[in-house]
Chain A
Amino acid sequence: MESHEIKSLLEKYMDAMTSVEEEKSLADYFRNNAVSPEFEEYKSMFGYFEDQRSVVPEKNFRISDTKKRRRTWIPAAAAAVLLLGVGIYGWQNQTPPQTSELGTFDDPEVALRETRKALDLLSSKVNTGMESVNYLNEYEQSKNVIFKN
């Protein structure tokens, strides 16, 4: 392209009247030619525009992955909180077993003695009960004597 052609195309360009094709040919011209000083700023502009077209994000964008990732930690966190709660509750209510309260004995002799004592106590109470029943028997007998005749 001749210099005067460039010049008129640039004027059109500055008025935003060029087509995309014409703008591409201007870019080609500035990329491939030594440019006279009067066009210096256009060379920078077209050079910059072209350079910017190669800017790409370094990151990959995903859809369901990001959604899933956001969702999966919620039940996990809930489970963790629940476990932690149960753990703390259990730990705080934990009391060491008290052997004396369970009534166990290490020595069999003592165990026997204590068992006898307990059984004696039980049988004496049972006998008390029996005594009152005996009294009832007495009453029955008297009644029989009276009403026999």
Chain B
Amino acid sequence: MEQIEFLKLIEPFRNKIFRLARRLLVSVQEAEDATQEVYIKLWNKNDGLREYQSVEALAMTMTKNYCLDQLRSKRAGNLSIVHNNYKDREAPLQTQVEDRDNWSWVEKAIASLPEQQQIIVQMRDIEQYDYTEIAEMLQMNETAIRVALSRARKQIREFITKTHAYGIA
């Protein structure tokens, strides 16, 4: 497979790879490294890629596995995860400061979830994959995904409600 053909194949979901990596690794730098790593892993499969029904699903699975490995080895090395404050580069001008402030609480709420739930929220609420796709990517059945997602959404809502109630925000 030629490089141009390969890059064309990856292009439609490259941002999704990066965003999933950023969700889990938090730092932009590390997310970029992870994306690069996934590119190389995919490239090394070379013509074997054609055998996959969905390269996108494969790429997302690889990204998830790579990031979880990174987190595990980080924890093993007793390194703390640098938590970036919520930064929004693309916000439209009319976006109110209050909105962005509220969004930062949603981000913190998601960060407080177990990794599995973070991944599911990322795949469903942000990337809008349907349940069959998520099931393929995570090697889980759809019911288990729905259960985890429902739990995650409720916890996010609760987290926000609390911050509003106590006026921490």
Contact = CB atoms under 8 A, between A and B. Distances in A.
B35 A51 contact: no
Contacts, number: 97
Given A14-B153, A63-B7, A63-B43, A49 B126 contact: yes
A61 interface: yes
A124 interface: no
B147 interface: yes
Size band of the B side of the interface?
35 or more
A16 interface: yes
B126 A53 contact: yes
A63 B147 CA distance: 39
Nearest to A65: B3
B164 A41 contact: yes
Interface of A: 13-17, 19-20, 23-24, 40-45, 47-49, 51-59, 61-64, 66-67
Interface of B: 3, 6-7, 10, 14-15, 18-19, 22, 28, 31-32, 35-36, 39-40, 43, 88-91, 99, 102-103, 105-107, 125-128, 130, 145-147, 149-150, 153-154, 156-157, 160-161, 164
